Structure 1
Amino acid sequence: MLYSYIVKKKIRQTFDHVNNHRWDEATEALAPDVHHRVSGTHALAGERHSKAALRRWFERLGRVQPNLHIKVDNIWVTGWPGNTTVFVQWDGTATLLNGEAYANRGLHVFTLRWGKVHALEEFQDSQAAANALAAQAAAGLKEAVAEQIVT
């Protein structure tokens, strides 16, 4: 029970770091060979297999959705410190450069081993994400339609 509480607290802190563009803190618990996957065919989609690549992805996220706010709705933790799975249900909102509201809802699945994130897969409305990125690009933010960061 205490372990689950600690994991939930750390996960909430990580989402707070992402919301506030604190990339050092957001990537602190990543394993060097972390596997990160986001479905879709847009600038934030693709697969990364290193902490450095995921750091670049977070930096891009901050640039293409500068006022994105992710609200954690629920966290479920299963397993023990050597092999933990964490499910995080969230709602994301932002105001796009054209003034339109963006909303998305999703689920992150984390695989933790001894306090390090070894895998992170994001399930969300990839079409909503792609549409928002296209709107950002149309408003002049060209990185919003850049090639995926993949490794």
Structure 2
Amino acid sequence: MYNHIVRSKVRATFERINEGDYLTMVDSLAPQFEYHFHGDHALGGHRVTRDAMIRWWERATRLLPGVRFDVQEVLVSGRPWRTRVAVRSRVSGALPDGERYENTVFQFLTLAWGRVTDVETMEDLQVLERALDVVEAAGVSEAAAAPITDA
């Protein structure tokens, strides 16, 4: 039953993000958390504060506006004091050149008492970096910016 509730909450959070409400995800973070998005690119980096996560989401929505997540699979293991979640989803959206951005995202989360304490995000970096190059070529220099971190 607990695993079913967690799966439902994860799916609901992605639906809220698809509706433009990324604060639902930010609000699910524990007071002390780590978020690591692999790669040295504008969306990569390591964050540990709410402010950095909000700035990251603001950037993500500027660089890839209208991007949507189609959650394919949510695996849940553990108890409420230490729950591990693996999410596989397809991410897609329009690029400025008329092409579509399509990628697979894997996220690994740790929860403690319903709050996210750790997130690790991985996707095909070649596909993502090509998309960011297209966005930069369309005049959005932020697509080539350094990752947002807490430093």
TM-score normalized with structure 2 length: 0.95
AA paired with 1:19?
A: N
Quote how far apart the aligned CAs of 1:51 are.
2.1
Match of 1:15 in 2: 14
AA paired with 1:110?
A: L
Match of 2:129 in 1: 130
Q: Would you say 1:37 and 2:36 are equivalent positions?
A: yes
Deviations 1:74-107 (A, max 9, x none): 0000000000000001111111011111110121
Q: Would you say 1:83 and 2:82 are equivalent positions?
A: yes
2:44, 2:138 → 1: CA distance?
20
TM-score normalized with structure 1 length: 0.95
Match of 1:60 in 2: 59
Quote how far apart the aligned CAs of 1:141 are.
1.6
Q: Which runs of 4+ in 1 moved over 4 A?
A: none
Quote how far apart the aligned CAs of 1:23 are.
2.5
- State percent identity of aligned pairs: 35
Is this contact kept in 2: 1:40–1:127, CA < 8 A?
Answer: no
AA paired with 1:121?
A: E
1:19, 1:147 → 2: CA distance?
25
AA paired with 2:32?
A: D
2:126, 2:35 → 1: CA distance?
19
Match of 2:110 in 1: 111
Is this contact kept in 2: 1:92–1:104, CA < 8 A?
Answer: yes
Match of 2:145 in 1: 146
Is this contact kept in 2: 1:38–1:123, CA < 8 A?
Answer: yes
Q: SS state of the match for residue 87, structure 2? A: strand
Is this contact kept in 1: 2:34–2:119, CA < 8 A?
Answer: yes
Q: SS state of the match for residue 42, structure 2? A: coil
How large is the RMSD of aligned CA atoms in angstroms? 1.1
- Structure 1 residue runs without a partner (length 5+): none
